[in-house]
Amino acid sequence: MDHFQLKNGVLHAEDIPLTELAEIYGTPVYIYSAATLRRHAQVFREALKPAGRVHLAFAVKANPNLAVLNILADEGYGADVVSAGELNRALQAGVAPEDIVFSGVGKTADEMRHGLQTGIGQFNIESAEEGHELAAIAAEMGQTPAIALRVNPDVDAATHAKISTGKAENKFGVAIDQAPALYAELSAKPSLNMRGIAVHIGSQLLSLDPLEQAFGKVGDLVQTLRGQGLTVSHVDLGGGLGVPYAPGEVPPSPADYGAMVARVTRDWDVTLMFEPGRVIAGNAGVMLTRVIRVKQALGNPFVVVDGAMNDLARPALYDAWHDFVAVQPNGETMAAHIVGPVCETGDTFARDREIDAVAAGDLAIFRTAGAYGATLASTYNSRALVPEVLVDGSNHALVADRIDPATIMAAERVPEWLK
């Protein structure tokens, strides 16, 4: 459920007509709904009530906007971060350091030091090499950080290959059969507080089966480790729950997910940690765009919009579907391709799609753009960096500026010797 609904024939974000926001902020622009973010945060938390002791950390990479992080921090969410930049954003947004989990396969020594200095709650380490390096740095700094070992359970998440992370050939985690030896070795390091296992098999999962399979393997591992006399007090089950993008796509509900988790983990006696991203932010945002022109062609016409692959990269990256809806639909439909102005054939949002009839100058939105949307934007083709606006009831504010090409050009230099 989201708060982008038609009222009197005009799509609104909560109480505000999108026509008004387009007038004020221009297009393309991302629009987020605070009420939707809060609702999703609460629904997810509620869904995990049956699972006992839980810690929730929003996956910052899904939507790192400071205003968004502020809302989620207020909802009691920690942060799952994958770089020093994300760590700083989480702190800036008011997330308590102890509620921050540092994930990722390529933390640098500097990033480890930064995490230790700021006193984050947990490092999820992804290799023996990383474990040894962190142990050495922590010893140097006289610290004993809490650690979870991320394992790769070798299950097929049945999602797009570029967002699948839990197969043996993926770069993430350590092979689950090598985990007991490494966990024991790292537990013996006085500068590490080895306390748990982490797993995250991929994103936009539309079935609970691969998750259940992975969690089952993690449960077996917890038993094995305890059998060796090792301590396991935390298990981080990652994120990954899908959201509906295309018509007919029905992801598992958070409640079904919570029930499955409660059933599978019933005997674990651990604090369960979660890192949801998309399921919190996906439907809380849209990208508002204006039709530049409708170009007639041999087949269906091309609807050329002012948003492009540099603003919303998911279709080009993952063949992703985003619903395209007119802001003031006239009740008619048309079959069309939807494309942006960038000089790449990949700058295509949809082909041969039945959409609301639109004409030059009309406004439309791409739905479900609140996760992996603005954060993946670039300035390719010397376009502006797309701005972001937050709506909260009848309040609205620019929460990320449109950075125009002149500002970006101002950061470039021509060396003296070329002048």
Ligand X SMILES: *Cc1c(COP(=O)(O)O)cnc(C)c1O
Question: Phi and psi dihedrals of 40, rounded to 5?
Answer: -65, -40
Q: Report yes or no: 186 and 131 within 8 Å, Cβ to Cβ.
A: yes
Nearest to ligand X of 371, 377 (CB atom): 371
Number of residues that bind ligand X (CB under 6 A): 17
Q: Is 203 in the site for ligand X (CB under 6 A)?
A: yes
Nearest to ligand X of 241, 312 (CB atom): 241
Q: H-helix or E-strand containing 29?
A: strand 29-33
Q: Which stretch binds ligand X (CB under 6 A): 22-30, 113-121, 277-285, 298-306?
A: 277-285
Please report the sign of the dihedral spanned by the C-alpha atoms of residue 221, residue 222, residue 225, residue 231: positive
Segment 317 to 376, residues that bind ligand X, using CB under 6 A: 371
Give 412: exposed, middle or buried? Use CB within 10 Å, 0-12, 13-18, 19+. exposed
Among 80, 99, 362, 392, binds ligand X (CB under 6 A): 80
Q: Say if residue 314 carries a ligand binding annotation.
A: yes
Distance CA 28, CA 30 (A): 7
Q: Beta partners for 287?
A: 30, 366
Q: How far is the CB of 41 from ligand X (least distance, A)?
A: 13
Q: How far is the CB of 33 from ligand X (least distance, A)?
A: 18
Nearest to ligand X of 17, 239 (CB atom): 239
Q: Beta partners for 303?
A: 294, 338
Nearest to ligand X of 280, 286 (CB atom): 280
Q: How far is the CB of 149 from ligand X (least distance, A)?
A: 13
Q: Say if residue 344 carries a ligand binding annotation.
A: yes
Q: How far is the CB of 302 from ligand X (least distance, A)?
A: 31
Strand positions, DSSP E, 307-412: 324-326, 333-339, 348-356, 363-366, 388-392, 395-400
Quickly tell me which residue has 């490494």 as its tokens.
182
Q: Map residues 101-140 to x or -, x wherever contact with ligand X holds by CB under 6 A.
A: --x-------------------------------------
**Encoded tokens for 310:** 């540099």
Q: Is 59 in the site for ligand X (CB under 6 A)?
A: yes
Q: Say if residue 318 carries a ligand binding annotation.
A: yes
Q: Say if residue 52 carries a ligand binding annotation.
A: no
Q: Is 200 in the site for ligand X (CB under 6 A)?
A: yes
Give yes or no for a cis peptide into 28 (omega within 30° of 0): yes
Question: Phi and psi dihedrals of 258, rounded to 5?
Answer: -60, -40
Q: Report yes or no: 173 and 152 within 8 Å, Cβ to Cβ.
A: yes
Among 12, 61, 290, 367, binds ligand X (CB under 6 A): 61
343 flagged as catalytic: yes
Distance CA 28, CA 287 (A): 7
3-state SS assignment for residue 270: coil
Nearest to ligand X of 25, 30 (CB atom): 30
Q: Say if residue 131 carries a ligand binding annotation.
A: no
Q: How far is the CB of 371 from ligand X (least distance, A)?
A: 6
Strand positions, DSSP E, 240-357: 271-274, 285-295, 302-305, 324-326, 333-339, 348-356
Q: Say if residue 380 carries a ligand binding annotation.
A: no
Phi-psi region of 352 (alpha: psi -120 to 50; beta: other; left: phi over 0): left
Q: Say if residue 142 carries a ligand binding annotation.
A: no
Q: Is 283 in the site for ligand X (CB under 6 A)?
A: no
Strand positions, DSSP E, 78-233: 78-81, 100-102, 122-125, 146-152, 174-175, 193-198
Q: How far is the CB of 309 from ligand X (least distance, A)?
A: 20
Distance CA 167, CA 163 (A): 11
Nearest to ligand X of 22, 199 (CB atom): 199
Segment 216 to 255, residues that bind ligand X, using CB under 6 A: 238-241
Residue from 1, 250, 298, 343 carrying the catalytic annotation: 343
Q: Say if residue 293 carries a ligand binding annotation.
A: no
Q: How far is the CB of 148 from ligand X (least distance, A)?
A: 11
What residues line the site for ligand X (CB under 6 A)? 59, 61-62, 80, 103, 200, 203, 238-241, 275-279, 371
Q: Residues within the annotated binding site for substrate?
A: 278, 314, 318, 344, 372
Q: Residues within the annotated binding site?
A: 240, 275-278, 314, 318, 344, 372
Q: Residues within the annotated binding site for pyridoxal 5'-phosphate?
A: 240, 275-278, 372
Tell me the catalytic residues. Answer: 343
